[in-house]
Amino acid sequence: RLSWRSVGLEGLTVMLHFWLLVGPGFYVAGVAMFAQSVFARTTATTRPVMWQQAFQGGDVLQALWGKGGQMLIVVRCALVEQIAFALFTGLFMILRYGYSPFLCCPAARITSVTSWVYGHVLQVHSLILLTHVALNVTWGILAAILNPEKFLPMGTAAVVVIVVVVTTNRELSAAARALRNVVA
């Protein structure tokens, strides 16, 4: 018999898993909508979609399918990818947490196939997120060259993060090699 506390804890765990998978994409969606608002103020030829309309829902969803306001194709692709990933993650989590591994063979087969497919979808989504972050870091470093007073702290922080990650990776790899040599 399950207690309410254990059911609540499991529910929170599932919600945390969902948020950790879908949450970083909201950053990409936010930056995409910021780019859309810059486009709307500078080069839009018809009524553009503004980022504030994302909270209304209907205008953005209509613009994603080419109806309603004008939207950049890059923004459209980023938002469609994020929405599709969130829906696919929700479906995967329902299948993953809904089926027990002790069920009959077809249910276990469905779970293993969806895990394999979702692994590939997650790899593509992670590649898109990492590409987006790399582009933002690159533009931050380039902006530090053009306007050092405003963007140098961001450019410096990006370079420091890169150097720390590379240095830590080299040190840990060297320690692992030394440990393998001692054990072998």
What value does the mean pLDDT of the chain take? 81
The pLDDT of residue 32: 79
Each residue's pLDDT tens digit, 13-47 = 888 888 888 888 888 877 777 777 777 778 877 77
| CA–CA separation, 85 and 91 (whole Å) | 10
Q: What percent of the chain has pLDDT over 70?
A: 83
Q: Is the dihedral of CA 58, 59, 61, 62 positive or negative?
A: positive
| CA–CA separation, 38 and 44 (whole Å) | 9
Residue type, 139: W
3-class DSSP assignment, residue 77: helix
Q: Is the pTM of this model over 0.85?
A: no
